[in-house]
Amino acid sequence: MSAAIARPLSSPKEEAIARAVERMADIHTFLVQYEFKAVENNNDIYAMAVRDLGCPQALVPILTPIIAFFLRAKAAKRIAAGVGKMSTENYKELLGKDYDSFQALLGEQKFFFGDEITATDCTVFGQLATVLYLPSDSYAKDLLKERHPTLVDYCNRIRDIVFGKEFTSN
């Protein structure tokens, strides 16, 4: 599997496209999705993190809002430094454009560069999977499911090939 992912693409143009897509996914898409995972969300993700840290259940409702407050502020600063401070509507527009770009580049292909998974596919999957399979609702997840079913199918295809039955949504 790793040898297939590391295989060189067929042309310098494909290599350039791969690099651009990977950078967009890892920097821009990551930060804009982060807005909806960490800033514009209810406290579900923070409550889950507090529980996962081993906090007694009785303290979760008390600690979650406090931790969420500090982590949201930190996330908002990181997002503003990376893509700028803007309205929620502008972040929604940017995320939609990123997803539209991925979907347009994917087209009717199984993967970005044909029938085999490449490093680019792993990068994009890694970013999209953090909203698609995370057990928390967000605008980013809704946008993927409602307006970008091709990307959902793409992620499910990679998930099934790479992880098979080992993948769990817990």
Over its length of 170 residues, how does the chain's per-residue pLDDT go in tens digits? 454 566 778 899 999 999 999 999 999 999 999 999 999 988 888 888 889 989 899 999 999 999 999 999 999 999 999 999 999 999 999 999 999 999 999 999 999 999 999 999 999 999 999 999 988 899 999 999 999 999 999 999 999 999 987 876 54
Compute the C-alpha angle 170/3/114, nearest 5°: 80
CATH of the domain at 19: 1.20.1050.10
Residues 6+ apart with CB under 8 A from 70: none
Domain ranges, residue 89: 2-166
Total domains present in the chain:
1
pTM of the model: 0.89
Q: How far apart are CA 136 and CA 145, in angstroms?
A: 14
